[in-house]
Amino acid sequence: MRLKPIKDLIDKLRRLPGIVERKPGIFYARGKAFLHFHEDPMGLFADVKVDNDWERFPVNAARERTALVKLAAKALARSG
């Protein structure tokens, strides 16, 4: 998977408290899978665990990436 197009997003996620990147683009929180990325013909997507359920979000546009960082921060805060 090509993560270069979302390097800015990955860098912002790395700075969130309580998140650990075990492999490039694969993040864990409190020892459990929390966020990872997928690429398909429609573009790039992030799967994020929100309230114990996986939800998929597009991350192709700058506004989508900004929204994902905010969502991830809120999900981490709620699960703590």
If one counts every other C-beta atom within 10 angstroms of the C-beta of residue 71, the result is: 16
The answer on pLDDT for 6 being more than 90 is yes
**Residue 23 exposure: Cα atoms within 13 Å on the Cβ side:** 5
The answer on pLDDT for 1 being more than 80 is no
Q: Which domain holds residue 46?
A: 4-79
The answer on pLDDT for 80 being more than 70 is no
76 CB-contact burial (10 Å; exposed 0-12 / middle 13-18 / buried 19+): buried
The confidence score (pLDDT) of residue 62 equals: 96
State whether residue 11 is helix, strand or coil.
Answer: helix
Quote the CA–CA distance of 29 and 35 in Å, as a whole number.
Answer: 9
The confidence score (pLDDT) of residue 78 equals: 82
Percentage of the chain surpassing pLDDT 70?
A: 99
Give the global pTM: 0.91
The number of folded domains in the chain is 1
Summary mean pLDDT of the chain: 93
